[in-house]
Amino acid sequence: MPYFSRFSIGVRTISIGNTLPSADEQAALFSHVREAHKYEAIEDYVELIDDLINATGEARLVDIANRMGITQPTASKTIARLQREGYVTSEPYRSIFLTDKGKKTAESSRERHEIVYRFLMALGVQEENARRDSEGMEHHVSDETLAVFERFTATQSSKQ
- Of residues 3, 72, 81, 101, which one binds a second copy by CB under 8 A? 3
Alpha helices (H) in the chain, listed in sequence order: 23-56, 61-68, 72-84, 100-123, 127-137, 143-159
Q: Which does 155 bind (CB under 5 to 8 A by kind): a second copy, Mn ion, DNA, none?
A: none
CB 137 within 8 A of CB 109: no
In angstroms, rounded to a whole number, what is the distance separating the alpha carbons of residues 10 and 13? 8
Stretch that binds DNA, among 68-76, 100-108, 124-132, 143-151 (CB under 7 A): 68-76
H/E element holding 143?
helix 143-159
Q: What are phi and psi of 8, to 5 degrees?
A: -95, 145
**According to the binding rule CB under 7 A, does residue 93 interact with DNA?**
yes
Q: Which residues bind Mn ion (CB under 5 A)?
A: 44, 47, 113, 135
In angstroms, rounded to a whole number, what is the distance separating the alpha carbons of residues 115 and 142? 12
In angstroms, rounded to a whole number, what is the distance separating the alpha carbons of residues 114 and 103? 16
**According to the binding rule CB under 8 A, does residue 133 interact with a second copy?**
yes
- Using the minimum distance from each CB to DNA, give the nearer residue, 2 or 57: 57
Q: How many CA atoms lie within 13 A of 59 on its CB side?
A: 24
**According to the binding rule CB under 7 A, does residue 18 interact with DNA?**
no
**According to the binding rule CB under 7 A, does residue 109 interact with DNA?**
no
**According to the binding rule CB under 7 A, does residue 28 interact with DNA?**
no
Residue ranges in 5-44 that form contacts with a second copy under rule CB under 8 A: 6, 8, 13, 15, 18, 20-21, 23, 26-34, 36-37, 44
What are the residues binding DNA (CB under 7 A)?
11-12, 34, 38, 40-41, 60-63, 68-74, 76-79, 81, 90, 92-93, 95
